[in-house]
Structure 1
Amino acid sequence: MKESFVDKIEEAVKEIEAGSSAEIVVSVRQSSASYRELDLLWSLIFALGVLAYKIWSPYYFHPDWILINVLFCALFGFLLSSKIAPMRRVFLTSGRRESETTKTAQSEFVRLGVSRTSGRTGLLILVSRLERKLVMIPDQALDHQIVPTLWEEWHRKFGTASSDEELLSGLMELLQSLRGPLSRQLPRTDNDVNELPDRPVQVAE
């Protein structure tokens, strides 16, 4: 992610916290799981594809080279899938995307200390780029101050994207949408202290 865009996210978080006692943490990850089984699936597809070609091709192939070719193509398929996100998305179901991003968001909520603010007003926003998912996990006080229908509306509007560009622009729109409700429901106090980092945390999977 470009530094200029990271700066924009940080500035948007600072603007929210300037008028609210909420503590926003944005975690941006390349993916929420390793998905090695998807790479292995592509490896199998490549291997079976070349094996089928060797068997039914009208051309003659020396038997000694068939196994080598199959193994090479299997390795090639594995490496290709591990580097090219659209290949993984072919077999990545919506249910799997939802479950993996939710688990990762819950883990990040604890790892990044969002649950340790003095007023329990933390909010984790996870952006998972492979899955093109955005997940919010609010702490207790913040969750109780915002009506459930508003959380549902934000999830419906920004939770899933069809492209990386839409995902990141949706993040910026979400941050803008949070300003008003958070400043009204959790106004900043005179003794408010910034307890969590404003700059997005980037994790490469």
Structure 2
Amino acid sequence: MVSVRITEADHQRVSGAIAAAEAKSDGEIVTMVTELSDSYHDVALHWAVAVLIAVLAWTAAFPMALQWGYSQLFGGWGVEPGLGALLFFLMVLAVLKFTVVLLVLRYMQLRLTLTPAATKQRRVRRRAISMFKAAAERRTVGRTGILIYLSLGEHRAEIVADEAIHDVTTPETWGEAMAALVAEVKEGRPADGMIAAIGLVGEVLAEHFPRSSTDTNEIPDKLIEL
């Protein structure tokens, strides 16, 4: 999997965008980027099991093919293998294919490609919520923290908001920001995507939580790489 490099200059640009957005509201924006949100090892296991079951199903549907394969490997057409020999041969064949699939799917990009989109979405969302709880939830006086989370490998992003923001918005509120972020990531410009999303999130925060005279910067304005 190709890694997208985020430079020190990118970090500074994102920090500047956060500061500019927060200058207009009492909201606190946290930004995080990670290469992957999950290892998806279970997906490889599921594919390997599926192949193993497919071997068994194929044998059940075409039992003579198993006998033909055995004969080709161990003695020619005249050999009539017993039931025990055929079952042992089937076991070896199934285990071999199971192992080969697991080894092939050690390649992360292939494993990611074979992971259903819904699974990737759930894993990214789960990781984003976990990171939000650790870094932003209830860490502001007015419960106005918000996380913009980007998972590069899956080309997916999540926005998770604290109580006060959640009460006055819906998931659709962040659609434009999410689209802007993901579009730039697909072009290999994650920092630009993050900056665009920060600006759009900042507009929503400024509308619902305009900056008050008592506002302070409660969370550092920086991009966190996981």
TM-score w.r.t. the length of structure 2 is 0.65
Query: In 2, Cα distance between the equivalents of 1:146 and 1:12?
Result: 22
Secondary structure, aligned partner of 1:115: coil
**Residue 225 of structure 2 corresponds to residue 202 of structure 1:** yes
1:2 — aligned with what? 7
Q: d(CA) in 2 for partners of 1:113 and 1:155?
A: 19
**Which of 140, 152, 173 is the aligned partner of 2:196?**
173
Residue matched to 1:137: 160
- 1:22 Cα shift? 0.3
Q: Work out whether residues 43 and 77 of structure 1, in 8 Å CA contact, stay in contact via their aligned partners in 2.
A: no
The residue type paired with residue 23 of structure 1 is E
TM-score with structure 1 length normalisation? 0.71
- Is 1:105 aligned to residue 128 of structure 2? yes
One-letter amino acid matched to 1:30: E
Equivalence map 1:26-175=2 (5 Å): 26-38=31-43, 77=104, 81-82=107-108, 86-146=109-169, 149-155=172-178, 158=181, 163=186, 165=188, 167-175=190-198
Figure out how many residues of one structure are paired with residues of the other and give that number: 184
Shift of 1:137: 0.6
> What SS class does the counterpart of residue 212 from structure 2 fall into?
coil
Partner of 1:60: none
Shift of 1:169: 3.4
Structure 1 residue matching 2:37: 3-state secondary structure: coil
Query: In 1, Cα distance between the equivalents of 2:185 and 2:14?
Result: 20
Matching residue within 20, 28, 39 for 1:23: 28
Q: 1:185 aligns with which of 189, 199, 208?
A: 208
Q: Kindly indicate whether the alpha-carbon contact (under 8 Å) linking 1:43 and 1:76 is maintained by their aligned counterparts in 2.
A: no
Residue 150 of structure 1 aligns to a residue whose secondary structure is helix
| % same residue | 25
The amino acid of 2:20's aligned partner reads E
In 2, the alpha carbon distance for the partners of 1:91 and 1:195 equals 41
Segments of 5+ residues of structure 2 without an aligned counterpart are 1-5, 50-71, 74-96
Q: Which residue of 1 aligns with 2:76?
A: none
Q: What residue ranges of structure 1 are gaps of 5+ in the alignment?
A: 45-54, 57-69
